[in-house]
Amino acid sequence: MDLLLVLTYTAICVAIFKIFRIPLNKWTVPTAVLGGILIVGAMIFVMNYNHPYSEVARSYFVSVPVIPVVTGQVIDVPVQGNERLEKGDVLFRIDPAPFEYRVKSLKAQLLVAKADRARISELIKRNFATQRELDVVVSRTDDLQAQLDGAQYELDNTTVRAPSKGFVTHVSLRPGMMATKFPLRPSMVFIPDEGQYFAAWMRQNSLLRLTVGDEAEVAFDGIPGKVFEGKVKSVLEVIAEGQVQPSGSLIGFTGSPPAGRVPVIIEITDPDFAPYAKLMPGGAYGQAALYSQHFTHIAMMRKILLRMAAWMNYIFPFH
């Protein structure tokens, strides 16, 4: 974007030299160059400091790995990729037979245990059994009931359902495959219908002028020539480059680490964005500019440059 400003100044200088027929000599050319360095440099400094810009911005969405409660062979996958689903809709079914057998077995054992409990209770009344024998049967009955509840829970979860409104994408699960309950190998990826989050990755010195509620503008690479209004919703207080997790190793210096950028969440409030929101895929790339309450007259220059960059997406749609 700074290049656009330099090119604009160059074009103005060329036009002035042509219109006013200013001769090109050792005085006029250095004056134009030196003036450009001072004027453009000062404008860029004031603009970047008070109205920061990020060429790295993206919409983010939450994905939910679908991991079944039980492991088994898939017998049915009625869902289609990118099909809108309601909470509770069936995603896939696991063969329930092994789990039904266990439920039947435990029901039979529990029935016998309950009969023994009733029999021993009657024998105690006649002094033909002890309280200890009854306690053992009661404990066995309770244990079988707990096992039955667990088995029934697993049987009920052989049918895997949508956790909320949303859709599944990249459906590669097929009948005959094994669905496992291990978290490192989800069977599907579910995208909840909760909207997307647009984050602009700002340089750290931009924090000096960042305030929640400031005006913002966003330009998407996939929507050339369009700029949408928004506002700063939040500024995340940590960046990934500085995180430390428990381990057996001490933190050491292994070279110059990347500085990292600060993620700033922007809420797009422009009503004109609504028809485009349905067309933009999750993870869409773009640019963003934030406007502070300082040097507001310079903000116009940033807005013009952002719109010029948006129009350039017609020519260079991808970074």
Q: The domain containing residue 227 runs over which residues? A: 52-61+195-238+260-319
Nearest-angstrom CA–CA distance, 107 and 183: 31
pLDDT at residue 317, rounded to an integer: 53
Answer yes or no: are the C-beta atoms of 94 and 235 closer than 8 Å.
Answer: no
Supply 124's token pair. Answer: 């105690």
pLDDT at 2: 61
Full DSSP string of 212-242: TT-EEEEEETTSTT--EEEEEEEE-S--GGG
Q: Are residues 97 and 173 in the same domain?
A: yes
- Give the chain's domain count: 3
Q: Provide mean pLDDT across the span 25-29.
A: 79
Answer yes or no: is 167 within a domain: yes
Same domain, 160 and 221: no
Q: How far apart are CA 69 and CA 89, in angstroms?
A: 16
Whether 140 shows a pLDDT value over 80: the answer reads yes
What pTM value is reported for the model? 0.76
Question: pLDDT band at residue 104, thresholds of 50, 70 and 90?
Answer: very high
CATH number of residue 162's parent domain: 2.40.50.100
Return the CATH number at 273: 2.40.30.170
Query: Residue 47: pLDDT above 80?
Result: yes
DSSP letter assigned to residue 25: S
φ, ψ of residue 196 to 5 degrees: the values are -115, 165
Query: What pLDDT is recorded for position 281?
Result: 87
